[in-house]
């Protein structure tokens, strides 16, 4: 009986030990999944925030982008309503200067982490001290503070612009302009059709142009032949003859102008002119008398 009891007692102890080991492994595994290294010594500090949106346990704690710890626990301060206590587990080798701020940083995806803004101080916090908590304005806060006033100021202008556009669209002048554009478009289409019809008649015109081009070529050849013939003309001799003729005409003109020359005397002597007139008058009287009295000048004898 005693042996049986000892065996049962040993089984219970063994089962108990197995359960304890399993719980320890489970605890260590959960902490490991959280990023907690229970085999690494750490110091604990605290920070109180008004808002920890996006912050979760095991969130990283960084200094200049380097991870130096993690968020160990987050709890609501029931004795200080409206505040949340964050426990920070930091590397034991990290010394935290007094005045260091625990800044809640949020990325674009909304995930938050703690960033330590180290103060330039040679005095350090003791383990378990409360750090200064700071929540900077996020992107949406900057949009609300900077962009929204501008948008609010623009709304009346946009409303006025929309009113003007509605008035412009509903204006009869715009409707008339659209109708004119329709008429212009119709005229353009008709002109295009007429132009296409005119283009269809271009082949005969092209043949006529070819004939005209042939005539131009023939005329050009004739002009070339004429130019060749003109080159063969004795221009020098013709020029010499013209010069001689011009000299003779000039000499004749000089003689006509000279009163001492024969031609000049004939041209410039008034007595000669009067004598000629008198002679012509006498001849005229003679012809008249002959017509009246032909027997006086002509005698006819019959044998």
Do 92 and 59 share a domain, yes or no?
yes
Q: Which among 75, 68, 112 has a CA at the least distance from the CA of 90?
A: 68
pLDDT of 139 above 60? no
CA 239 – CA 245 distance, rounded (Å): 10
Strand partners, 49: 84
CA 277 – CA 90 distance, rounded (Å): 156
Indicate the pLDDT class of residue 178, thresholds 50, 70 and 90: confident
Higher pLDDT, 95 or 209: 95
Do 105 and 126 share a domain, yes or no?
yes
pLDDT tens, position by position, 40-84: 557 899 999 998 988 988 899 999 989 999 999 999 999 999 999
pLDDT, residue 86, reads 94
Share of the chain above pLDDT 70, in %: 76
Domain membership of residue 47 (yes or no) is yes
Domain membership of residue 32 (yes or no) is yes
Do 80 and 129 share a domain, yes or no?
yes
Domain membership of residue 173 (yes or no) is no
pLDDT tens, position by position, 250-281: 877 777 677 776 666 666 667 767 777 788 88
DSSP assignment of 48-63, as one string?
EES--TT--TT-EEEE
Indicate the pLDDT class of residue 145, thresholds 50, 70 and 90: low
pLDDT, residue 303, reads 45
pLDDT of 31 above 50? yes
Domain membership of residue 283 (yes or no) is yes
Do 51 and 103 share a domain, yes or no?
yes
Indicate the pLDDT class of residue 118, thresholds 50, 70 and 90: very high
| Chain Cα centroid distance, residue 65 | 44
Helices (H), the chain: 2-34, 139-142, 148-169, 172-200, 202-232, 235-257, 262-268, 270-292, 294-297
Read off the pTM. Answer: 0.39
Do 77 and 117 share a domain, yes or no?
yes
pLDDT, residue 254, reads 77
| Average of per-residue pLDDT across 186-193 | 87
pLDDT, residue 2, reads 58
Q: Residue 275: which residues within 8 A CB-CB, separation 6 or more?
A: none
DSSP state of 40: S
Q: Which among 102, 106, 117 has a CA at the least distance from the CA of 72?
A: 102
pLDDT, residue 48, reads 95
Find the domain containing 33 and state its range: 7-37
Domain membership of residue 255 (yes or no) is yes
Higher pLDDT, 254 or 128: 128
Higher pLDDT, 301 or 104: 104
- Phi (first) and psi of residue 69, to 5 degrees: 175, -165
Domain membership of residue 287 (yes or no) is yes
Domain membership of residue 77 (yes or no) is yes
Do 67 and 12 share a domain, yes or no?
no
Number of independent structural domains in the chain: 3
Q: Mean pLDDT, the chain, as a whole number?
A: 78
Cα–Cα distance list, 55 to 21, 72, 128 (Å): 32, 11, 20
Domain membership of residue 162 (yes or no) is no
Higher pLDDT, 138 or 210: 210
Token pair 């131009």 is found at 216
């Amino acid at each position: 009986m005693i042996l049986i009891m000892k065996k049962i007692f040993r089984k219970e102890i063994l089962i108990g030990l197995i359960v304890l080991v399993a719980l320890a492994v489970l605890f260590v595994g959960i902490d490991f999944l959280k990023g907690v290294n229970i085999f690494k010594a750490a110091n604990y500090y605290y920070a109180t925030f008004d808002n920890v949106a996006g912050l979760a346990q095991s969130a990283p704690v960084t200094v200049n982008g380097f991870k130096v710890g993690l968020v160990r626990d987050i709890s609501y301060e029931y004795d200080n309503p409206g505040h949340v206590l964050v426990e920070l587990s930091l590397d034991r080798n990290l010394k935290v200067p007094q005045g260091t701020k625990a800044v809640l940083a949020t990325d674009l995806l909304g995930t938050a982490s703690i960033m330590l803004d180290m103060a330039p101080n040679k005095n350090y916090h003791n383990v378990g001290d409360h750090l200064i908590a700071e929540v900077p304005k996020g992107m949406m806060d900057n949009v609300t503070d900077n962009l929204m006033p501008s948008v609010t100021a623009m709304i009346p202008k946009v409303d006025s612009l929309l009113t003007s556009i509605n008035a412009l669209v509903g204006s009869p002048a715009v409707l008339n302009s659209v109708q004119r554009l329709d008429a212009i478009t119709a005229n353009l289409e008709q002109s295009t059709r007429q132009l296409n019809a005119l283009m269809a008649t271009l082949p005969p015109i092209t043949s006529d142009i070819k004939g005209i081009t042939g005539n131009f070529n023939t005329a050009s050849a004739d002009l070339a032949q004429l130019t060749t013939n003109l080159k063969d003309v004795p221009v020098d001799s013709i020029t010499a003859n013209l010069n001689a003729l011009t000299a003779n005409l000039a000499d004749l003109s000089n003689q006509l102008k000279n009163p001492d020359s024969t031609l000049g005397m004939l041209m410039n002597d008034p007595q000669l002119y009067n004598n000629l007139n008198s002679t012509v008058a006498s001849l005229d009287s003679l012809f008249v008398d002959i017509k009246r009295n032909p027997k006086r000048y002509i005698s006819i004898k019959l044998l």
